[in-house]
Amino acid sequence: MNGWALKLRYARKYWKLLIHLTFKTRHFGVNNRWWVAQPSAIGWQPWQILWGIVTVMPIVRNVQSLKVRSCIGWIPHDECEALGLMR
């Protein structure tokens, strides 16, 4: 299986986590439902999410952070290597 197919399959499996970490939502992670009293510690306010989308750079930084954090324990090491995030 080539790299793009593997990344696409992984993104389809963990799409909620991808959105949560890219846009830093408060209540849209895997274990972070909208009805939970405690919001995510990394969550942004709605205006911050909108500003990040408009200015693009904060979203790019979030994606870079997602790649780094994924390789330090958020996903298994062998999956991190298979996805090509160890560069």
Stated pTM of the model: 0.58
Residue 53 lies in a domain: yes
- Residue numbers of the domain that contains 50: 3-31+42-82
Q: Give how many domains the chain has, as a whole number.
A: 1
Tokens of 72: 């330090």
Measured from the Cβ of residue 47, the count of other Cβ atoms closer than 10 Å reads 8
Model confidence pLDDT, tens digit, residues 20-64: 778 888 776 555 566 666 667 777 788 887 887 888 778 788 888
Q: Does the residue 18 lie in any domain?
A: yes
Beta carbons within 8 Å of 39's beta carbon, 6+ residues apart = 26, 27, 32
User: Is 36 within the bounds of a domain?
Assistant: no
